[in-house]
Amino acid sequence: AQSVAQPEDQVNVAEGNPLTVKCTYSVSGNPYLFWYVQYPNRGLQFLLKYITGDNLVKGSYGFEAEFNKSQTSFHLKKPSALVSDSALYFCAVRDSPNQGGKLIFGQGTELSVKP
């Protein structure tokens, strides 16, 4: 069965430093990978996705993610963190074209960026 793991419940970063939020996945077919962000008392916002092609995916708000097939990872990165990036981040996966719309979410990583 497909699954997603976010090994860190919380990540703390100083403003201006690079940030990484980790995600590993397990699927039986080709992975379709997504990152979402959730600000307090808000819905989830789509950041970026990997379907196929270039392993480095660029998304919204300066975020990017690197797909690594051999390590089954899809880590989210940003070169310079902002205090406003503080939020809850979810990695998600779908397995194969016939998944019928179901996203499998990781448990979430709370990112805290301090001035």
Partner 1 sequence: DTEVTQTPKHLVMGMTNKKSLKCEQHMGHRAMYWYKQKAKKPPELMFVYSYEKLSINESVPSRFSPECPNSSLLNLHLHALQPEDSALYLCASSQGSGSGNEQFFGPGTRLTVL
Of 80 and 84, CB closest to partner 1: 84
41: left (phi over 0), alpha (psi -120 to 50) or beta: left
CA–CA dist 96, 27 (Å, integer): 9
Give me the least distance between CB of 32 and partner 1, in Å please.
Answer: 4
Q: 56-95: which residues touch partner 1 (CB under 8 A)?
A: 88, 90, 94-95
Q: Half-sphere exposure of 76 toward its Cβ, with a 13 Å CA cutoff?
A: 31
Of 13 and 37, CB closest to partner 1: 37
53 binds partner 1 (CB under 8 A): no
Give me the least distance between CB of 13 and partner 1, in Å please.
Answer: 19
Give me the least distance between CB of 62 and partner 1, in Å please.
Answer: 18
Of 78 and 94, CB closest to partner 1: 94
51 binds partner 1 (CB under 8 A): yes
**Three-state SS letters, 47-100:** EEEECCCCCEEECHHHCEEEEECCCCEEEEEECCCCHHHCEEEEEEEEECCCCC
The footprint of partner 1 (CB under 8 A) covers 32, 34, 36, 41-46, 49, 51, 88, 90, 94-103, 105-108, 110
